[in-house]
Amino acid sequence: MTAALPSRGCIDTPVLKERGQREVFCGLTGIIWLHRKMQDAFFLVVGSRTCAHLLQSAAGVMIFAEPRFGTAILEEKDLAGLVDSQTELDREVDRLLARRPDIRQLFLVGSCPSEVIKLDLHKAAERMSAKHAPHVRVLNYSGSGIETTFTQGEDACLAAMVPVLPATPARELLLVGALPDVVEDQALALLAALGIAPVRCLPARRSGDLPAVGANTVFALTQPFLGDTHAALIRRGARHIPAPFPFGEAGTTAWLHAVATEFGVPQALFDTVTAAPRARAAKAIAAAAQTLTGKSVFFFPDSQLEIPLARFLTRECGMTAIEVGTPFLHRDLMAPDLALLAEGPTLSEGQDVDRQLARARAARADLTVCGLGLANPLEAEGLATKWAIELVFTPVHFYEQAGDLAALFARPLRRRAVLRNLAPLEAAE
Ligand code: SF4
């Protein structure tokens, strides 16, 4: 097993707090992966045409399948028109639910426009839940770009579900975070092999499988951006198992070990169950690490995955981190990863994009991880970049994806090396 080094790593590193302009997608983006995960849920964005465009261009237009997300577009209205808006929204929802009996959970998702902010979506959700229960449960959360960065949409969605989960006195393990089904199945298989049961997931694939929660629930987060969900579960009496996040071979082993310790799994069984997948993961990482070793990386704040990924790249791929930016630094959730991140990088929280761009240009890291909007200009300035959003849309958790995760970072460096080799040839032609 990988024991944590006796180090406090970056736990005591002072954090540069920035509160300027930021360049991040809004929380509506989470609907793209949440609607795939929750197979009987519908996400109704109450928003503007901009919100509808964002969703359609990010999710693609489905021609054959009925989509499970949509936008109720509110036009500009004065306050007197708000009553009409509520009635209109009720009518839209009635129509939708009558047409789509497959929908068992409906999320009203708030957005930025002032007309939406004035609407009380929580009351609307309660009113609709009362009307459509028990067939459909209606909940609300905000995906507004004023309040959320793109991964916070998932956090807001899951946090909205926690108060209405049924109560249980049972001792159960709850895995929290929307993982692709194939990755979730791998995690469940490992936990089953360790003899850990019963295990539930939030979100569940179908509303009938929603977990219950209570004072004997222990939960492990699979995503680092779930601060509000973590707080909501603790309010329900559940207990968090602190652990590094399951990225890479060492991260996955440390995460599994924390859960195994909680459930009293013997060390010998742990070693037997994890030996083969650990070896596969280490081999796969080593292949990509040939490109990454000795290179530097600079993270702009985007997905909140930055600190665990910096830990993975520095400890398992031989990279050096120059700056690790994160939209929010949740100390309780990040402590195990911060402890394993070697001292050295600047840690920054929030963003002042011009100042951070100046630091990135001065650092000229071998690889800059940033949002889509910054990647092209930085590429034009000769920096190799990685789109942060790919790290959320690609399966990257646990052992079997560890090599793919390393390869995601290696690809832009390989591409740059190929282009560099081609340049003299083109010049000679
Ligand atoms: S929620 Fe706000 S930031 Fe997001 S697409 Fe709608 S208007 Fe734009």
Final residue in a domain of this structure, among 80, 114, 148: 148
Looking at the fold, whether 231 and 361 belong to one and the same domain comes out as no
For every residue of 390-422, DSSP letters joined together read HHHHS--BSGGGHHHHHHHHHHHHHHHHHHHHH
Number of domains in the chain: 3
Final residue in a domain of this structure, among 81, 114, 148: 148
Scan for tokens 């995460």, then name that residue: 255
Q: Token pair for residue 289?
A: 């690490």
Looking at the fold, whether 49 and 95 belong to one and the same domain comes out as yes
More reliable by pLDDT, 175 or 69: 175
pTM, whole model, 2 decimals?
A: 0.93
Final residue in a domain of this structure, among 113, 148, 183: 148
Looking at the fold, whether 190 and 244 belong to one and the same domain comes out as yes
For every residue of 77-128, DSSP letters joined together read --GGGHHHHHHHHHHHHHHHHHH-TT--EEEEEE-SSHHHHHS-HHHHHHHH
CA distance 277 to 273: 8
What CATH number is attached to the domain comprising 373?
3.40.50.1980
Residue ranges around ligand 1 (CB below 6 Å): 26, 28, 47-48, 50-51, 54, 111-112, 143-145
Q: What is the pLDDT of residue 76?
A: 63
CA distance 255 to 263: 13
pLDDT at 78 over 60: no
- Residues of the domain holding 195: 172-267
Looking at the fold, whether 370 and 411 belong to one and the same domain comes out as yes
Q: What is the pLDDT of residue 418?
A: 85
Which protein residue has the closest C-alpha to ligand 1 atom 3? Answer: 145
pLDDT at 47 over 60: yes
Which protein residue has the closest C-alpha to ligand 1 atom 7? Answer: 112
In 3D space, the residue among 22, 21, 36, 26 whose CA is nearest the CA of residue 143 turns out to be 26
In a domain, 1, yes or no: no
In a domain, 166, yes or no: no
CB 90 within 8 A of CB 108: no
Q: What is the largest CA-CA distance in the chain?
A: 75
In a domain, 167, yes or no: no
CB 369 within 8 A of CB 306: yes
For every residue of 213-264, DSSP letters joined together read B-TTEEEEESSTT-HHHHHHHHHTT-EE-----SBHHHHHHHHHHHHHHHTT
In a domain, 77, yes or no: yes
Q: Which of 32, 54, 121, 148 to mutate to test the pocket of ligand 1 (most atoms within 8 A of CB)?
A: 54
Looking at the fold, whether 98 and 203 belong to one and the same domain comes out as no
In a domain, 40, yes or no: yes
In a domain, 50, yes or no: yes
The region of weakest confidence among 117-121, 134-138, 379-383, 399-403 is 117-121
In a domain, 159, yes or no: no
In a domain, 409, yes or no: yes
